[in-house]
Structure 1
Amino acid sequence: MSGKAPTRSYVSTLRTEQAATTRRRILEAAAACFTENGYSGTSLADIAARAGVSPETVKNNGPKRELLLGAFEQAFAGTEGPAPVVDSDPAQEILAITDADAFLTATAAFVAAANARTSVLWIEFLAAANADALVAAALDDLLARRRADYRGVVEQLIERGIASGSQDRDAAAATLSFLWSPESHQQLVLQGGWAMERYEVWLADAAQSQLAA
């Protein structure tokens, strides 16, 4: 009997990995469908076709509102779930940067790239929240987590001498969340025609000018 346990363990691990891979593919497909067709204009069948899986598989990973939240989290931070963005590998690499200006530049570039992946999806999230109380609740939770993430960024900017330590941390985090929101990418890049390089520089300059020490 002891010889069969590793086989069962291997099969279980393989199934878990396969399920995670399928889940990730479904969320990628959901993000693409919501972006292209809107939340209300996307069906589970559309997501299934885009992901190359059965509608039943998508249904088992749903409902649609949970796919919307998961798709946004994965597109923005690279992984689904409530973990702080700072726990991600790219964020940890940025935290290891010791030069203050280089840290701000890298952080702004990270946010710019994340906003580029999610700014249209974010608009769909807001629209869905207006029509669905459960999506609205998920949005409130996501916004609370975003404020906490930006509170952490503010603390780093203060520690590195970029931001003033005398200001209210929560107010500074709210300011940064506003400046670095997906809406800024929507307006400046998608609508205003800015190049991403210009947008990245603007994010860094706006944070520095508003929170300057």
Structure 2
Amino acid sequence: MAGTRPYRSTLRQEHAQQTRRRILEAAASVFSARGYASASLADIAASAGVSVESVKVHGPKRALLLAAFELTFGGEAGESSLTERPEIAAIASLDDPDRMLAELVPFIAAANARTSGLWATFTAAARDDTEVGAVLAALLGRRHADYAAMVALLGERGLPSIARLDEGGRRELADALSFVMSPEGHQQLVGESGWSDERYTSWLLEAVRTLIAAA
């Protein structure tokens, strides 16, 4: 009988992970539809098909909002660098910088499409709630670090336009890439201006290439 304990423990862990994912997916849907202030833990619980107490285990609303965004954007909840995700790590390992961009930009574009409504909720909540604002500020700091790492990787791959930049120039390029590849851009071009996701992705890739070449 003792030999069954690790198996049962693994099953419990898998069940807990599945429940957490279901709660976060429900949170993303509820926050996007109702906004941060109007959404309740009871709403999230009902959407996920679990008890309110189960939702509370995974944190207050602001923690659920951040985790829901991280899961929706990168496929995994957690305050980690995007570069640590398996998909991005695989892209970052490519030797050809143009191929790297050709795979990275569509990944970001698709992530922006998934999180467009949730990002609008996030930024609106940050204006009214200082604690959510602090969470958002930390997220933006990690995002900028990710783009700085992207610039460094492209420089290592031998792109002349980046190789000749000093530290300040690379920082400005990371700022520009973070801006143009942000969820706000998708919201404006697709959500407000009516572009298709395909047109947005194509435009974004050319815009990124132009920014890097002009650096």
Give the structure-2-normalised TM-score: 0.91
Q: How far off is 1:164 after superposition?
A: 2.3
- Shift in alpha-carbon separation, 1:94–1:162, aligned structure 2, 3 A: farther
Answering whether residue 107 of structure 2 is matched by residue 110 of structure 1, we say: yes
Q: What is the aligned partner in structure 2 of residue 166 from structure 1?
A: 164
The 1:81–1:163 alpha-carbon spacing in structure 2 relative to 1, beyond 3 Å, is farther
1:116·1:185 contact (CA, 8 Å) conserved in 2?
yes
Work out whether residues 118 and 182 of structure 1, in 8 Å CA contact, stay in contact via their aligned partners in 2: yes
Q: 2:11 aligns with which of 2, 8, 14?
A: 14
Shift of 1:8: 2.6
Instruction: Give the match for residue 181 of structure 2.
Output: 180
Give distance in 2, aligned partners of 1:205 and 1:33: 34
1:88-167 correspondence to structure 2 within 5 Å: 88-160=85-157, 161=159, 163-167=161-165
> 1:39–1:128: 8 Å Cα contact kept in structure 2?
yes
Show the counterpart of 1:190. 191
AA in 2 matched with 1:186:
Q
| Separation in structure 1 between the aligned mates of residue 160 and residue 182 of structure 2, nearest angstrom | 20
For residue 76 of structure 2, give the secondary structure of its aligned residue in structure 1.
coil
Pair 1:72-2:69 in alignment: yes
Contact 1:30 1:47 in 2 (8 A): yes
Task: Look up the match of 1:46.
Answer: 43
Distance 2:64 2:188 in 1: 26
Partners of 2:154 and 2:202 in 1: how far apart? Answer: 16
Uncovered stretches (5+) of structure 1, i.e. residues with no partner: none
Distance 2:177 2:6 in 1: 46
Could you tell me how far apart the structure 1 residues matched to 2:35 and 2:26 are?
A: 13
Structure 1 residues 93-102 or 47-56, which shifts more?
Answer: 93-102
Structure 1 residue 153 displacement after superposition = 1.3
Aligned counterpart, 1:204: 205
Q: Deviation digits for residues 57-77 of structure 1, max 9, x if unmatched? A: 112222111000000011111
Q: 1:196 is aligned with what amino acid?
A: D
Which range is displaced more, 17-26 or 164-173? 164-173
Which runs of 5 or more structure 2 residues have no equivalent in the other structure?
A: none
| Post-superposition offset of 1:163 | 4.3
Offset of residue 98 of structure 1: 3.7
The superposition leaves residues 153-207 of structure 1 with CA deviations (integer Å, 9 ceiling, x where unpaired) of 1122323327422332221111110000000000001111111121112111111
Aligned partners of 2:19, 2:190: CA distance in 1, in Å?
A: 32
The aligned length equals 210
The CA distance in 2 between the partners of 1:176 and 1:106, in whole Å, is 15
Structure 1-normalised TM-score? Answer: 0.92
Question: Could you tell me whether the CA contact under 8 Å between 1:31 and 1:71 is conserved in 2?
Answer: yes
Cα distance in structure 2, aligned partners of 1:81 and 1:127: 21
- Name the aligned partner's letter for residue 144 of structure 1: G
C-alpha distance after superposition, 1:94-123 (max 9, x if no partner): 234443332212111000000001121111
Counterpart residue type for residue 164 of structure 2? S
2:186 counterpart SS class = helix
Asked if structure 2 preserves the Cα contact closer than 8 Å seen for 1:147 and 1:177, the reply is yes
